[in-house]
Structure 1
Amino acid sequence: MLQRLAIPAAKLLRSKSHIVPGQLLVTEHFFQVPLDYANPSAGSITLFGRSATKHEVPIFPPDELPSPKPWIVYLEGGPGFGNREPQDHPLTRTALSRGYQVLYLDHRGVGLSTPVSTEMLARLPGGNGPNAVEIQTKYLKLMRQDNTVRDCEAVRKLLTDGLPEHKARWSIFGQSYGGFISISYLSLHPEGLREVFLTGGLAPVGKTADQVYQATFQRTIERNAAYYQKFPDDAETLRQIATHIEKEGGKQGLPLPGGGFLTVPRLLTIGIAFGGHGGVDQVHTILLQLKASLDQFGFLTRASLAPLETFTAFDTNIIYAILHEAIYCDGPGSVSNWSAHRVGQSLPQFSWLSRDNVSSTSSTAPGQPLLFSGEMIFPFHFDTYPELIPLRAVAERLATASDWPALYDIEQLRKNEVPVYAASYIPDMYVDYEFAKDTANLIKNVKTFETNVMYHNAVRAKAEEVMQNLFTLRDDVID
């Protein structure tokens, strides 16, 4: 059962505005909210957000102050990533043209909202002592979508203070994991919402982590087929690179210039890019650089290795790794137990995940290419990324945790009165389309735009088309 807690208004620590070319007024806000809403005495954290509205210079001074424009809040995906600046975001122009002011709020623990890092966790009271694993684990458990919803409500109460109830509600726009937060918002505090927009964010409500990965591994297999159809020679290229890594790096892997290690399994995780527009070519470019280095020099140069260090931002956005499976743990008794790793090991196409395989290059059938994984987190991430290596014990504790709070209220979703407008991508490698359909059918008052010609990052890659279709769902009628 969802825990509904009293939400005090956030405290504004400071804010400052500046004008951006293009008639945009951007304000940077720092808010203070409780770390644990169930235990307000446990301290506070800082949230950061940027708001954007039109910068207007009237010919005549207005006789009175204009009414505040309605808010729309963008919730970024991940989990683990902060927001870009408003002038660089595709939502800004659409939202301002439709009369909103926009708030880009960094989720707790990411961006500039008391961002989590290995050193920061170690500096928690007791975070470097004999109980460090328990203390750090407890802190990280507070970084999921249920508390992000509470943060949003706290900020909403501050920013809309004094407005009548119908004007104090705001709109939210959830991309990917931001959609998961949005559905938790509909479950916990629908009274704060006017409308909800989702892009690739129809969370797999009611599905276990194992069910999620069984589905997304199949999508990943399909994207691998598309990759090798476009770049068939890369099957042999990948084996050449993998053979070199295993020969020169041994079991630990090749040391990377910035720390950590390149192993064959880590290399194969760059298939995460297959889920977005341009991802197939992005992976090909990585292999092209590595092969050129081997062919010309017989070793992997720093220039060829550098893109791999930042390909997935686990070192700078550790929540993306350490809490990724936790977002599928909905309530007490739900345990992830390294779900992606277990599911992948059961599939012959991903036999390189098995601990029994000494050589990744020999772990597939003759003539079959090595397959890349998708948006999955594996235990070996905590052996190969320098920022994650010290957190291996904490990651293990989170993977075996069973005392997670509930994230969704199915009965509340069934009677939902808040309009929801969702873009759903049929070939989505991250958020399975069939599960998304189940969720759309579960939640009352959902209108869905579905397409098989867009991928998960279409809100950026195909922004104009996505925005047009979403707002058409809101503004047009269906005969």
Structure 2
Amino acid sequence: MTTRYRQPGVVLTDHWFTVPLDHGDPAGEQIELFGREAVASDKADAGLPWLVYLEGGPGFGARRFTGRQSWLGRALQEFRVLLLDQRGTGRSTPANRQTLPTRGTPQQQSDYLAHFRADSIVRDCETVRPSLTGGAPWTVLGQSFGGFCATHYLSSAPQGLRMALITGGLPALDATADEVYRAAYPRIERKNAAHYARYPQDVRRVRRIAGHLAEHQPVLNSGYRLTPEAFQSLGILLGTGDGSHQLHYLLEDAFVRTPSGPALSDAFQENVHAVLSYAGHPLYALLHEAIYAQDHRPTRWAADRVRAEFPQFDAAKTLAGDEPLLFTGETVHPWHFDTDPSLAPLRETGRLLAERADWTPLYDQDRLAANQVPVAAAVYHDDMYVDTEHSSRTARAIRGLRTWVTDEYEHDGVRAGGGRVLDRLLALARDEA
């Protein structure tokens, strides 16, 4: 089933595909995938090569553009683009607190979600590619976790790729989840230091908010329980280009005066909920550590365990002293399933995924060392989400890969940079730069 319509300068076509839940059992249960095709209006009937975009996450559907926004405008100069909602996201058989109970028990839900990692996503791409390209290889553009998927693509199905373009998403090939987070906390601390250097007035403001939360243990208007630790999760903003500024403005509106004394303002509550809630992307919380799991090793809430090695992130200890409170970043903790009402029904499912030990390898290092596909990757210096040294080691392990290491952008460079990042990656992959 397809639906065709227009936006300024773009012709859009909605596509639906049916793929196996378990590609190892192609005759078994099937799920639906959604992809939105975009092509320039003046090239709608041209025989253009295809580019498939894989969003970051896990757990986010493909970006919804209006017209030729951001990097899409550059891509439409020469490609027909497929904006693919990865399985479980967007309109692709969504997996959330409303739908997962149809799978049965938490154990059955966990077994179901074990099929939602990069390996299954790449096999989805290979299943739908022939119907769109007639069998021709296509170019993949992977942002963040989408870059992890692109790296798996190079490992498992390079024959399907014309080029691989990766932005902020070169994964460690063999690091454990513990090692990933052990490298992450010092980077997060540096992002905190940079924020407080820019906005020193936020030191007192943040401590006041956290102290209020510790004393009053408020439940937001949305039902979200805002503990000091949950408040620290606002540091997720610090890894994007304008995130420090967004955080600063969010903190400005924290309190209002009421007849009963200072209270968290409705505006602050709404803005905090918009950042912290997993309602729109629960797979991010459920599967985030699983994207690092390989070789039959459970993750067992690695971010939470490793955090104990960095006592400077302990909110209670910080509030007992006079140091700035440190925000955390891209870390998921078991208590998220207590504070967030959209995750609470999935608490046991999350625990079972954290204890799961049947994860298979995601990357074939021998195949990557013999790679023949043109590959280019943007590596953002001191990226808060993906460790630069891990990315650099992986870049050296993939034959022919060319990197652009820059501190001009943060993790969201491909979005913030308009068409510049994509243009640079294309030039590198084509050996034109």
Give TM-score, length-normalised by structure 1.
Answer: 0.87
2:244 aligns with one of 267, 280, 287: 280
The Cα shift of 1:315 comes to 1.4
Q: AA paired with 1:20?
A: Q
Residues of 2 paired with 1:119 and 1:16: CA distance?
Answer: 27
What residue in structure 2 maps to residue 312 of structure 1?
276
1:6-33 C-alpha deviation (Å, 9 max, x unpaired)? xxxxxxxx101112122x1110111111
SS at match of 1:280: helix
CA apart distance, 1:55: 2.0
Tell me whether 1:39 sits opposite 2:25 in the alignment.
yes
Q: Does 1:80 align with 2:59?
A: yes
- In the TM superposition, what are the counterparts of 1:26-425 in structure 2 within 5 Å? 26-56=12-42, 68-86=47-65, 87=67, 89-97=69-77, 99-124=78-103, 127=104, 132-161=105-134, 168-249=136-217, 254-292=218-256, 298-332=262-296, 334-352=297-315, 360=316, 362-363=317-318, 366-425=321-380
Question: What is the alpha-carbon distance in structure 2 between the residues aligned to residue 310 and residue 304 of structure 1?
Answer: 10
Q: Distance in 2 between matches of 1:425 and 1:73?
A: 22
Q: Give the conservation status (yes or no) of the 8 Å contact 1:237–1:291.
A: no
Q: Say if 1:455 and 1:247 are closer, same or farther in 2 by CA, change over 3 A.
A: same
User: Is the 1:427–1:433 Cα contact (8 Å) retained in structure 2?
Assistant: yes
1:451 and 2:406 are equivalent in the alignment:
yes
| Residues 428 and 455, structure 1, Cα contact 8 Å, conserved in 2 | yes
Q: Which amino acid aligns with 2:289?
A: E
Q: Please tell me whether residue 16 in structure 1 is matched to residue 14 in structure 2.
A: no
Rg: which structure is higher?
A: 1
The alpha carbon displacement at 1:448 in A equals: 0.7
- Preserved contact between residue 209 and residue 339 of structure 1 (Cα < 8 Å): yes
Report the equivalent of 1:441: 396
Residue 419 of structure 2 aligns to a residue in which SS? helix
- Structure 1's consecutive aligned runs of 4 or more residues displaced over 6 angstroms after TM superposition are none
**Partner amino acid, structure 2, of 1:92:** L
Post-superposition offset of 1:296: 11
Contact 2:72 2:419 in 1 (8 A): no
| Superposed displacement of residue 40, structure 1 | 2.8
Q: In structure 2, give the amino acid aligned to 1:53.
A: V
Q: Distance in 2 between matches of 1:278 and 1:57?
A: 34
Find the aligned partners of 1:444 and 1:474 in 2 and give their Cα distance.
12
CA distance in 2, matches of 1:73, 1:233: 44
How much has 1:294 moved relative to structure 2? 8.0
| Contact 1:330–1:408 (8 Å) recurs in 2 | no
CA positional deviation for 1:42: 3.3
1:412 alignment partner AA:
R
SS at structure 2 position matched to 1:47: strand
Tell me how far 1:475 sits from its aligned partner: 3.9
Q: Which amino acid aligns with 1:45?
A: I
The Cα shift of 1:280 comes to 0.7
The 8 Å contact of residues 293 and 304 in structure 1, kept in 2 or not, is answered as: no
**SS of 2:379's equivalent?**
strand
Q: CA deviation at 1:212?
A: 0.7
- Give the drift of 1:245: 1.5
Contact 1:349–1:364 (8 Å) recurs in 2: no
User: Structure 2 stretches of 5 or more lacking a match?
Assistant: none
* Alpha-carbon distance in structure 1 between the residues aligned to 2:231 and 2:259: 18
Deviates most, 334-343 or 84-93 = 84-93
Q: Tell me the distance in 1 between the aligned counterparts of 2:238 and 2:260.
A: 28
How far does residue 278 in structure 1 lie from its aligned partner after superposition?
0.8
Normalising by the residue count of structure 2, what TM-score does the alignment of the two structures yield? Answer: 0.95
The equivalent of 1:355 in structure 2 is: none
Partners of 2:178 and 2:306 within 8 A in 1: yes
Q: Is the 8 A contact 2:220 2:269 kept in 1?
A: yes
- In the TM superposition, residue 233 of structure 1 has moved relative to its aligned partner by 2.0
Q: Secondary structure at the match of 2:109?
A: helix
Deviations 1:115-170 (A, max 9, x none): 1111211112xx1xxxx011010011111110000000001022123x5xxxx111
**d(CA) in 2 for partners of 1:119, 1:92:** 32
> What CA deviation, in whole Å up to 9, does each residue of 1:97-132 have, x standing for no partner?
1x21111011000011011111211112xx1xxxx0
Unpaired runs of at least 5, structure 1 = 1-13, 59-65, 353-359
2: CA distance, partners of 1:295 / 1:185 = 59
Same amino acid, percent of matched pairs:
40
Post-superposition Cα deviations, 1:307-328, rounded to whole Å, max 9, x if no partner, equal 1111034112100111000000
Over aligned residues, Cα RMSD in angstroms? Answer: 1.9
Q: Secondary structure at the match of 1:212?
A: helix
Shift of 1:52: 1.0
> Which residue number corresponds to residue 387 of structure 2?
432
Query: Which amino acid is the alignment partner of residue 173 of structure 2?
Result: V
Distance 1:464 1:33 in 2: 32
